[in-house]
């Protein structure tokens, strides 16, 4: 009997929901209480420093040394008064996790006394030991210096270390001494600036009072929850974050009764707990619900400025992992932890807001504003059309590869859903022939723009199978992986839209210089763009096979493997695009490409090792023991003269043998494939071998193992089964 599995099941089944107390009666009483927010700054800083800091935040400006000293002093006294003993620059290196290096607030004076100290210089800049973070060749290990720099636009916050102490975390960028970005945040901030500049100058054609455009993001986060004891009884979950084996349960997702059903009490307690903690950290987490698969859930915050939303998402993921421990649960952020069951995404809801309070992707009742709306809408469509492969590259990862195009996930084909009304409006705009204006004609009326108010947000007009869907007043990019840091995707999206808007401005300026009427010129350009880009629009079922065929006919790419998808980053057009918009230099893009490939290789390598180990040491050995038991039974039957009765048992014995043989041979040949791949110098070639030669074995081995799971006595099976993992009470 499999002792480990049954022990774990016993533990999991005996657990109760952990009670969670509200920090205060009203959310307003604790929301943001663990952040160094505006209110705290206003109270603790001199009026002069307060104004300078808020100004710098709004304009992405710099903060001079004397102000930095004052802010550092205020941060220190605020943090220590709330129990903080350490501070750290909190940053997002390209490993994909967040990083921190804690320093104590106190220092030893020359006469050996301890004193608390935190200077402006330490706030503004730190030098972590950067050698252990990936740099994709930008920084050799012996030139391991890189530094982190304070990002004032994201508020500092207090993190509980668990053991009582707290740490003041200062959101930061991470760059090399030669100025290259070593993190996700730096290019993101640059892309936000690029988009602000481009969008603002386009807004100027419509409304002179618009001087700033802020991209906004609301990331819906999907995840699975499993019991902690069961998690540790599955080495594949522990090491690879996903199950490499497991037969689908009889009662799976088919019933779909889990979606919007009631949340299990233990999971509910966990959610309430991390929501409280998130709110203390100023994160506006708002919705919680069950997702499609059993054991799968979603959390969504109210949207914020993109940089802040991404910091908050990274922090939320950290927090969820920590708080899950208190509830004896484990959160799985992997895109596809269970085969045959819905995967997890991070739906990036994205739009752009102006300093005048306008959402540029919201249709309005005023024709003039609708021309502006259409301008932004069509430019986004054109940007996505022209750069679909780059957008696809931005979501490439080993985990997402299992999800894209599998059950209930958008395929690797980029397409846009706009909804009936909008598609029709754009069609009308395109087919409307030359418009002649007589004096006194209302230009908007003639352009058909007075009809657009009927576009007003319609919630029934939804398509949940589109990777990039317009949802009334924003776009939802649904193909982003659940474990991803959204910064890569947002950097690409901001950059391609910025680039497109710059192009639009140039096109419009040219027409205006020729003396064309502004509104007509805009409509003409939009018509042109629409005609060039409309093949990317798709309203049907994005999960269907017909769409894959149709997309191929339309000439849209369907790049399935991550190494192929990532290669788009370093194509000359992509490099030029990043350079032109000032978002990344060639060296920075190339280093990122290298790092992503390395990550891919490592991930597949780990999966492959775990698979080989489990297959041989757990599955085959168990199957052979079971076979031995059965052969005793068969022999006994024969001895008793029950020859015919022994036959079916012999069939099972043969089946076990044949499956064991396939598993053994395939495992050996997979190891050989790994060896061959590891001998390949070029990273891209090596990654491609992992994506093909190594990975090709996965499904074959898995198939046989999952069949054995159905044959071998349940009592003996060593791995926690899907039905046990997926149903948390």
**Closer residue to Mg ion (CB): 347 or 392:** 347
CB of 289 to ligand ADP, least distance (A): 9
In the block, tokens 């680039």 appear at: 499
The set of residues, in sequence order, having a beta carbon less than 8 Å from that of 699 and lying 6+ positions away, is none
- Partner from ligand ADP, Mg ion, none contacting 217, C-beta within 5 to 8 A by type: ligand ADP
CB of residue 474 to ligand ADP, shortest distance in Å: 4
Binding-site partner at residue 574 among ligand ADP, Mg ion, none, CB < 5 to 8 Å by type: none
| 419 scored as a contact of ligand ADP (CB under 6 A) | no
- The listed partner (Mg ion, ligand ADP, none) that binds 349, CB under 5 to 8 Å by sort, is ligand ADP
Smallest CA-to-CA distance from 478 within 464, 499, 490, 488 is with 464
Q: List the single partner that 683 binds among Mg ion, ligand ADP, none, CB under 5 to 8 Å by kind.
A: none
Which residue's CB atom is positioned nearest to Mg ion?
A: 220
Q: Which does 216 bind (CB under 5 to 8 A by kind): ligand ADP, Mg ion, none?
A: ligand ADP
Kindly state the tokens that stand for 311.
């910091």
| Closest distance of CB 234 from ligand ADP, Å | 32
**Interface residues for Mg ion in 78-117 (CB under 5 A)?**
none
Exposure string of 403-440, with b = 16+ CB inside 10 Å and e = fewer, is bbbbbbbbbbbbbbbbbebbbebbeebeeeeeeeeeee
**Collapsing DSSP states into helix, strand and coil, what is residue 700?**
helix
Measured from the CB of residue 464, what is the shortest distance to Mg ion in angstroms? 8
Nearer to Mg ion by Cβ, of 172 and 471: the residue is 471
How far, in Å, CA of 322 to CA of 334, rounded? 16
Binding characters for ligand ADP, 348-387, by CB under 6 A (x = yes): -xxx-------x----------------------------
The whole-angstrom separation of Cα 173 and Cα 186 is 6
Q: Which stretch binds ligand ADP (CB under 6 A): 88-96, 216-224, 326-334, 548-556?
A: 216-224
- What are the contacts of 298-302 at 24+ separation with CB within 8 A? 298/220, 298/221, 298/222, 298/223, 299/220, 299/221, 299/223, 299/271, 299/274, 299/275, 300/218, 300/219, 300/220, 300/221, 301/218, 301/219, 302/218
* Nearest position to ligand ADP, beta carbon: 218
Q: How many residues bind Mg ion (CB under 5 A)?
A: 2
Residue number with CB closer to ligand ADP (300 or 559): 300
Return the residue of 155, 218, 294, 411 that touches ligand ADP, per CB under 6 A: 218
Q: Which does 205 bind (CB under 5 to 8 A by kind): ligand ADP, Mg ion, none?
A: none
Least distance (Å) from Mg ion to the CB of residue 353? 22
CB of 269 to ligand ADP, least distance (A): 23
Q: Select the residue interacting with Mg ion from 220, 273, 476, 594 (CB under 5 A).
A: 220
Q: What is the 3-state secondary structure (H, E, C) of 225-279?
A: EEEHHHHHCCHHHHHHCCCCCCCCCCCCHHHCCCCCCCCCHHHHHHHHHHHHHHH
Q: For residues 207 and 588, give the distance between their C-alpha atoms in angstroms, rounded to a whole number.
A: 36
By the 10 Å C-beta count (0-12 exposed, 13-18 middle, 19+ buried), 469 is classed as: buried
CA distance 185 to 467: 24
For ligand ADP (CB under 6 A), the number of binding residues is 15
Closer residue to ligand ADP, CB minimum distance, 475 or 529: 475
Can you tell me the distance from the alpha carbon of 55 to that of 703, in angstroms, rounded to the nearest whole number? 60
Cα–Cα dist 13/24, whole Å: 32
Q: Smallest gap, in angstroms, from Cβ of residue 409 to Mg ion?
A: 12
Q: Which of residues 340-359 bind Mg ion (CB under 5 A)?
A: 347
Residues 183 and 146 sit within 8 Å (Cβ to Cβ): no
CA distance 543 to 380: 23
Binders of ligand ADP among residues 273 to 302 (CB under 6 A) are 300-302
**Which of ligand ADP, Mg ion, none does residue 302 bind (CB under 5 to 8 Å by kind)?**
ligand ADP
| Pair 289, 278: CB distance under 8 Å | no
If one asks whether residue 473 binds ligand ADP (CB under 6 A), the answer comes out as yes
Q: Could you tell me the smallest distance in angstroms from the CB atom of residue 291 to Mg ion?
A: 7
Nearer to ligand ADP, 468 or 722 (CB): 468
Distance separating alpha carbons of residues 437 and 454, to the nearest angstrom:
25
Span interacting with ligand ADP, options 3-11, 185-193, 470-478, 531-539, rule CB under 6 A: 470-478
| Distance, CA of 630 to CA of 647 (rounded, Å) | 12
Residue among 121 and 287 whose Cβ is closer to ligand ADP: 287
Contact 180, 173 (CB under 8 A): no
Taking residues 532 to 571 in sequence order and writing x for each that binds Mg ion by CB under 5 A, - otherwise, the string is: ----------------------------------------
Which lies closer to ligand ADP via its Cβ, residue 52 or residue 474? 474
* DSSP codes, 163-219: SS-EEEEEEEEEEETTS-B-BSHHHHHHHHHHHHHHHHHHHTTT-TT---EEEEEEE
> By the criterion CB under 5 A, which residues form the site for Mg ion?
220, 347
> By the criterion CB under 6 A, which residues form the site for ligand ADP?
216-218, 220, 300-303, 349-351, 359, 471, 473-474
């Amino acid at each position: 009997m499999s002792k480990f599995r049954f022990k774990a099941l016993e533990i999991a089944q005996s657990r109760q929901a952990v009670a969670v107390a509200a920090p205060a009666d009203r959310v307003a009483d604790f929301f943001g209480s663990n952040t160094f927010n505006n209110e705290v700054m206003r109270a603790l800083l001199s009026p002069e420093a307060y104004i300078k800091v808020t100004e710098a935040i709004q304009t992405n400006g710099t903060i001079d040394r004397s102000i930095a000293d004052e802010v550092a002093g205020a941060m220190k006294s605020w943090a220590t008064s709330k129990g903080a003993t350490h501070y750290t620059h909190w940053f997002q290196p390209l490993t994909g996790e967040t990083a921190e290096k804690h320093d104590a607030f106190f220092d030893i004076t020359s006469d050996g006394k301890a004193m608390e100290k935190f200077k402006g210089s330490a706030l503004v800049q730190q030098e972590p030991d950067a050698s252990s973070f990936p740099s994709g060749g930008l920084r050799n290990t012996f030139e391991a210096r890189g530094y982190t720099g304070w990002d004032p636009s994201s508020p500092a916050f207090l993190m509980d270390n668990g053991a009582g102490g707290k740490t003041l975390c200062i959101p930061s960028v991470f760059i090399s001494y030669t100025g290259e970005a070593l993190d996700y945040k730096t290019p993101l901030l640059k892309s936000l600036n690029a988009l602000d500049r481009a969008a603002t100058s386009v807004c100027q054609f419509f409304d002179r009072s618009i001087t700033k455009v802020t991209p906004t993001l609301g990331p819906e986060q999907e995840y699975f929850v499993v019991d902690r004891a069961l998690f540790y009884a599955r080495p594949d979950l522990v090491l690879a974050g996903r199950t490499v084996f497991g037969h689908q349960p009889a009662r799976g997702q088919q019933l779909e009764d889990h979606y919007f059903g009631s949340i299990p009490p233990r999971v509910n307690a966990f959610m309430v707990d991390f929501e409280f903690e998130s709110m203390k950290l100023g994160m506006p987490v708002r919705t919680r619900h069950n997702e499609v698969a059993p054991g799968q859930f979603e959390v969504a915050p109210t949207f914020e400025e993109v940089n802040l939303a991404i910091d908050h998402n990274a922090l939320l993921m950290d927090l969820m992992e920590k708080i899950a421990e208190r509830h004896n649960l484990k959160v799985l952020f992997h895109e596809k932890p269970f085969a045959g069951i819905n995967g997890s995404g991070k739906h990036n809801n994205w739009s752009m807001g102006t300093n005048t309070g306008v959402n540029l992707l919201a249709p309005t009742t005023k024709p003039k504003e609708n021309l502006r709306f259409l301008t932004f809408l069509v430019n986004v469509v054109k940007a996505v059309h022209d750069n679909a492969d780059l957008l696809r590259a931005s979501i490439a990862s080993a985990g997402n590869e299992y999800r894209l195009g599998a059950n209930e996930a958008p395929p690797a084909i980029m397409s846009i859903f706009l909804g009936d009304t909008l598609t029709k409006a754009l069609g009308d705009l395109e087919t409307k022939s030359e418009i002649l204006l007589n004096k006194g004609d209302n230009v908007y009326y003639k352009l058909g723009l007075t009809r657009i108010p009927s576009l007003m947000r319609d919630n029934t007009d939804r398509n949940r199978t589109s990777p990039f869907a317009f949802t009334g007043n924003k776009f939802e990019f649904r193909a982003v992986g659940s474990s991803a840091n959204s910064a890569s995707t947002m950097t690409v999206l901001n950059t391609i839209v910025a680039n497109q808007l710059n192009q639009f401005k140039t096109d419009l300026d040219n027409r205006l210089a020729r003396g064309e009427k502004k509104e007509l010129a805009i409509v003409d350009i939009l018509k042109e763009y629409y005609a060039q880009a409309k093949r990317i629009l798709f309203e049907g079922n994005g999960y269907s096979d017909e769409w894959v065929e149709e997309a191929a006919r339309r000439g849209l790419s369907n790049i399935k493997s991550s190494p192929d998808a990532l290669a788009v980053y370093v194509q000359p057009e992509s490099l030029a695009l990043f350079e032109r918009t000032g978002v990344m230099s060639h060296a920075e893009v190339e280093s990122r490409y290298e790092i992503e490939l390395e990550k891919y290789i490592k991930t597949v390598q780990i999966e492959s090792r775990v698979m080989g180990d489990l297959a041989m040491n757990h599955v085959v050995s168990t199957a052979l023991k079971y076979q031995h038991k059965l052969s005793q039974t068969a022999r006994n039957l024969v001895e008793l003269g029950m020859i015919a009765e022994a036959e079916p048992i012999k069939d099972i014995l043969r089946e076990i043998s044949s499956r064991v043989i396939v598993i053994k041979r395939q495992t050996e040949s997979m190891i050989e494939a790994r060896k061959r791949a590891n001998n390949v110098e070029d990273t891209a070639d090596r990654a491609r071998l992992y994506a093909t030669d190594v990975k090709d074995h996965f499904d074959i081995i898995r198939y046989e193992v999952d069949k054995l799971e159905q044959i071998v006595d349940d009592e003996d099976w060593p791995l926690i089964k899907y039905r046990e993992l997926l149903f948390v009470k």
